[in-house]
Amino acid sequence: MERNGAADRVREGKIGARLALIAGSYLLLVFVTPLTMEHGAIPDLSGRANLIDYATVDGWGSWGNADNGEDSPVGHNQFMNGGVFAWSEHGPLVAFVYLIGDLNCHQKYDRSYEVNGNQTAICARDIGILLGFVAGAIIWSRFGVNRYSIRDSFLSLLPDKWVAPLYRSDRRLIAMWAIIIVGLAPTGIDGFTQLLTGYESTNIVRVLTGSTAGAALAWLIAATICARGSDFDDVGEVLLPANSKLKIR
């Protein structure tokens, strides 16, 4: 169905496929890399999010390899949890996978999966986010449409009859952010409940709640990249639900 005034949606398909390929490739490496290593080569890790903790055994980027069991609210005594680990001492592929995990994830062993006796580079929640991101990118590649603006492109994933009332009442921006918030909410609720109470989630729940956040993020990124006014000679060419007309203020 031609919904954006163009005869095809090649770029939308390519963008979605590329986003899925990037996230999916790393996700695959998260499980493949531990299989290529000696059993037990990766000990139980417990670092900090958004910081380098396991680059070296000592010196720069070695915070995780110290005894952080009593003096820090995060981390543990690495010597008592399988010994030290430094991803820089492994091959380039292993180093790359665990560098990305080290930088973006807390890598808590009790919230992560183990493959071949080796802890994965990212936790269960991040695995769920990547799974959801791949699924969301694939859905965008099949159904996403450039409708000039980010909000209208984002909502193109929903059937026109569902969003028609939003166009009649001009609540598209509210609807877009509501969908994003709903996607992020399960992760936020589960994570902050763990942080503020004695509740402890499970890895299955972490994967499931992370997946909705990943899907919402993929849709927002894809819509942002694909929303281009240059595809249209005039805003009147943009086809919107409920026969709405796009107005540029």
Domain boundaries, the chain: 22-123, 128-243
Does the CA dihedral 165-171-173-178 come out positive or negative?
Answer: negative
Nearest to 102 by CA among 50, 149, 63: 50
pLDDT reported for residue 247: 67
- Asked whether 99 and 87 are in contact (CB, 8 A), the reply is yes
pLDDT reported for residue 248: 64
pLDDT reported for residue 249: 60
pLDDT reported for residue 177: 97
Task: Phi first, then psi: give them for residue 211, nearest 5 degrees.
Answer: -65, -35
Residuewise pLDDT in 10s, the chain (249 residues) = 344 444 468 889 999 999 999 999 999 999 999 999 999 999 999 999 999 999 999 999 999 999 997 777 789 999 999 999 999 999 999 999 999 999 999 999 999 999 999 999 999 999 999 999 999 999 999 999 999 999 999 999 999 999 999 999 989 999 999 999 999 999 999 999 988 898 999 999 999 999 999 999 999 999 999 998 888 877 777 888 877 877 666
pLDDT reported for residue 71: 72
pLDDT reported for residue 244: 80
pLDDT reported for residue 243: 77
Tokens 């973006």, residue? 104
